[in-house]
Amino acid sequence: MAAHLIPRPAATVTLVRDAPGGFEVLMMQRNFQSVFMPGMHVFPGGAVDPHDSSADIAALCSGLDDVDASRKLGINSGGLAYWVAAIRESFEEAGILLACNDTGEIVTLDDAVRAERFHAYRSRVEHGEHPLSDMLKHEGLQLPLQRITYFSHWITPVGAPRRYDTRFFVAHAPESQKPLHDNRETINHVWVRPGEALSLNKQKKFDMRTPTVHTLRLFAEHDNVASLIERMQALGDIPVIEPRIAKNGRRLLPGDAGYEEAGTEAGRGAF
């Protein structure tokens, strides 16, 4: 049955910040008890929820409407929900809120009282007790969608127990906010240079899936956040990457030897 699962729409956001000698990306480590990707280092992200496409949340978005968002993704409609999901997942999984006030300034969470208030919001949003739009309305905030950039598209291989149709975004992390893993889905977080993460992965000290490795290789070509985001914004049509897993378990990307011959029913694990 797993081979016939329809991929679930999902969004991932790579949060980046400048650092001495280069820039860093935020990585979250998943709980070792998780059924899905236990112990892996990942970017914040997850499935698109129904509320991500609601009229309430759309009215609180700026810089992009559904027509333009859908055009960027190459779909007929519903594109705005992916941007919203990326911001919501950043808040839920990493405690980083990409929201701004009516003057366009990103919300600051460096005050202890405000930080505690938003921590409570985070818990309620994460557990489905209140939608993200309630918090935004109460705090007078909007989602500045123009601040996050779409740059990649991956679909989990046929045959995997869970399949996702995932859009990847990149955003400059707010300086006044500090990440905080939730100690439920994620048990640790780290700011790391792309090249360092790749090196640790080769040494089998930093477990990552193929899309994460591929993203970090792309990022490692740049020296700072401005250069990276400028390049991502300049991308034209973004092709979908649909990996395959050969019968011998070898993981293949389009262009790899044996990709065309790999049976699409062969995949048996997350990629």
Q: pLDDT tens digits for 52-71?
A: 999 999 999 999 999 999 99
Q: Quick one: pLDDT at residue 34? A: 60
Q: Quick one: pLDDT at residue 253? A: 80
DSSP state of 139: H
Residue of 32 and 188 predicted with greater confidence: 188
For domain 2-243, the question of CATH label 2.40.30.170 is answered with no
Q: What angle do CA 95, 185, 146 make, to 5 degrees?
A: 40
134-169 pLDDT, tens per residue? 999 999 999 999 999 999 999 988 777 788 999 999
Average pLDDT on 208-219 reads 94
Find how far residue 157's CA is from the centre of its chain.
Answer: 18
Per residue, the 3-state secondary structure of 198-245, as one string, reads HHHHHCCCCCCCHHHHHHHHHHCCCCCHHHHHHHHHCCCCCCEECCEE
Residue of 267 and 45 predicted with greater confidence: 45
Q: Is it the case that residue 241 has pLDDT exceeding 90? A: yes
**Hey, where are the domains in the chain?**
2-243
DSSP state of 110: -
d(Cα 259, Cα 157) in Å, to the nearest integer?
A: 12
